Amino acid sequence: VVWGVGLDDVENLRKFAEEYDIDYPILIGSTSLAYKYKVQGIPTTFLFDKKNRIAFRHVGFAPGMEKDLEKEVSQLLKE
């Protein structure tokens, strides 16, 4: 399951999703949610294990990052 969480207003999130052709749900978050998950930069990517614990966290975006995510997801699916 993939979700995006934005800290912006609905209209800006809608425009962002259209501009980047995002086809997964984007939820509206809050600064308290960002604090709870210790978000230190945007974007922050989380992968959760079967027990809903954070198994992977990455701050920022870099070309080729999707290969790291694929590796982490594959590992989690084996567990």
Say which CATH class 4-78 falls into. alpha beta
pTM for the model stands at 0.75
Q: What is the mean pLDDT of the chain?
A: 90
Q: Where are the domains of the chain?
A: 4-78
Q: What is the dihedral of CA 45, 38, 48, 69, to 10 degrees?
A: 20
pLDDT tens figures, 9-35 = 899 999 989 998 988 899 998 889 889
